[in-house]
Amino acid sequence: MSNVRLCLHKLAKNPYYIEEIHLSIYSIEELCFYLCKNPELLREDIMDEDLSSFIETELGMEDLGKELREILEKRGSLTEFVGAILKGAFYLNDREWNKVQNMLGQSPHIEYRLRKKRKGDFLLESQKYTLAIEGYSSILQEAEESGDRQFYGDILHNMGVAYAKTFDFPKAKEKFRQAYEANGSLESLDHYLTVVRLISTKEEYEEFVRTKGVDKETANFIGEKYGKCLEDYEKSDVKRRIDRIREKKEKGNFTEYFEDMDELLEEWKEQYRKSMKKS
């Protein structure tokens, strides 16, 4: 499926809320994206009268709403219900629908822990980091006890990513370390060392590398990546904006300085709040 979809239909004033992943749907395209993202994880509880009414009244797609209601009345299948939505929105071509249809058939066979992980993955991709962490945490012990070190390590790694996205670098560091110890993933090692470098001085990082026996090639790679991040920051709009604000302070324009700084901080706070929201 392509990465860009035009919203050609009406936007809802009152969204349809999918409680399981704390997602508000405002358009048929958003609904279709959700249905196609992980179709093998869909269950029959998505087939309800409320969704049919939402499509009919809020989105103004009366024919589709009626079709869905008829499927419910005759106790049609999940594949039939989802297919009607995707086809009614002209969201997929035949090849794409065949792929989704095959994945829908796998839904009843997905084991609980894998379903929970993929739900966490969706929340992580949707930038709902707190919910993702909660989802991963709920199956962490089960994953460890399963003996599947790859699966266990993958959950720890993704938890590390979520913690890093919420700026909780000490917890991110610990999760990446545990992930590497669980499955030996070089990606987890890379993330672990990157966080160590991020929260340490150059001298502390070099000492860490020496005492932990990190090979020189890996240590240099992380150092180069860190340097590239600093270089990108120096060229960024954020850096230029901060420099302009700092310049006002240096010139004694304290009123403008504090106003601009407050505005910037509020923007950052709002971004952080959105990443921490549970709904």
Q: Count the neighbouring beta carbons within 10 Å of the beta carbon of residue 168.
A: 16
The span from the first CA to the last CA of the chain, in angstroms, equals 27
Domain assignments of the chain as residue spans, ordered by start: 16-109, 112-214, 237-276
- Where do we find the tokens 């990082």? 205
Q: Count the neighbouring beta carbons within 10 Å of the beta carbon of residue 29.
A: 17
Average pLDDT, the chain: 87
pLDDT confidence tier of residue 269, bands split at 50, 70 and 90: confident
Contact 132, 117 (CB under 8 A): no
- Token digits of residue 229: 């991040």
Q: Can you give the pLDDT at residue 217? A: 85
Whether 244 shows a pLDDT value over 70: the answer reads yes
The rounded distance, in Å, linking the Cα atoms of 205 and 223 is 9
Q: Can you give the pLDDT at residue 1? A: 42
Whether 136 shows a pLDDT value over 90: the answer reads yes
The rounded distance, in Å, linking the Cα atoms of 110 and 41 is 7
Q: What is the CATH number of domain 112-214?
A: 1.25.40.10
- Token digits of residue 104: 């829908």
pTM (global) more than 0.85? no
The rounded distance, in Å, linking the Cα atoms of 62 and 108 is 31
Q: Can you give the pLDDT at residue 76? A: 93
Strands 16-18 and 23-25: antiparallel
Q: Can you give the pLDDT at residue 8? A: 55
Read off the pLDDT of residues 44-75 as tens digits, 9 standing for 90 and up.
888 989 999 999 999 999 999 999 999 999 99
Q: Can you give the pLDDT at residue 22? A: 83
Segments in 111-168 forming alpha helices (H): 112-125, 129-138, 140-145, 149-165
Q: For residues 32 and 1, which has the higher predicted lDDT (pLDDT)?
A: 32
Read off the pLDDT of residues 184-195 as tens digits, 9 standing for 90 and up.
998 999 999 999
- Token digits of residue 22: 């704390």
Contact 124, 91 (CB under 8 A): no
Q: For residues 144 and 264, which has the higher predicted lDDT (pLDDT)?
A: 144
Read off the pLDDT of residues 157-187 as tens digits, 9 standing for 90 and up.
999 999 999 889 999 999 999 999 999 998 9
Which residues are paired to 18 by β-bridges?
Answer: 23
